[in-house]
């Protein structure tokens, strides 16, 4: 995980609607990046559903939330719709895991993101 006080690595990823989303899009706001392994797994489904339950509290603190995994934007779109999520899911698909690695949220042995939160 990146150290507290470290400048957040920039990124530009495709969201679940096919739109490019960059770190700069959140300038002037707090941002919670929720790294998670994979769409559709039981634990990730629970994890992202819990974030949806507390999204009002996150936003009340002036923060935005975005999920990041290595799944495609197409998978994210279906997953987000299935769970009725109101926050974006960003695809770290190509090159696979580049942003996850930059934030220290990568597990080489399983080839996907570690479950972790980063507050920017």
Question: Is residue 113 very low, low, confident or very high in pLDDT (cuts 50, 70, 90)?
Answer: very high
pLDDT beyond 90 at 4: no
CATH class of the 34-119 domain in this structure: alpha beta
Verify whether residue 100 is a known catalytic residue.
no
pLDDT, position 76 = 97
Question: Is residue 5 very low, low, confident or very high in pLDDT (cuts 50, 70, 90)?
Answer: confident
Mean pLDDT of 20-27: 96
Eight-class DSSP state of 71: S
- C-alpha 88/C-alpha 82 separation (Å) is 13
Spatial neighbors of 1 by CB under 8 A, at least 6 apart, are 103, 104, 105, 116, 118
pLDDT in tens, 36-72: 999 999 999 999 999 999 999 999 999 999 999 999 9
Catalytic residue among 13, 21, 32, 44: 44
Spatial neighbors of 114 by CB under 8 A, at least 6 apart, are 35, 37, 100, 105, 106, 107
pLDDT, position 1 = 75
pLDDT in tens, 62-79: 999 999 999 999 999 999
Q: What is the pTM of this model?
A: 0.94
């Amino acid at each position: 995980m990146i150290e507290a006080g470290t400048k957040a690595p920039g990124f530009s990823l495709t969201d679940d609607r096919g739109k490019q989303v960059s770190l700069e899009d959140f300038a002037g706001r707090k941002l919670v990046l929720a790294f998670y392994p994979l769409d559709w797994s039981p634990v990730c489904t629970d994890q992202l559903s819990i974030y949806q339950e507390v999204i009002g509290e996150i936003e009340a603190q002036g923060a935005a939330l975005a999920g990041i995994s290595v799944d495609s934007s197409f998978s994210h779109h279906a997953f987000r719709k299935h769970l009725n999520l109101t926050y974006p899911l960003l695809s770290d698909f190509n090159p696979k895991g580049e942003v996850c690695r930059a934030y220290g949220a990568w597990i080489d042995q399983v080839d996907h993101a570690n479950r972790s939160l980063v507050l920017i």
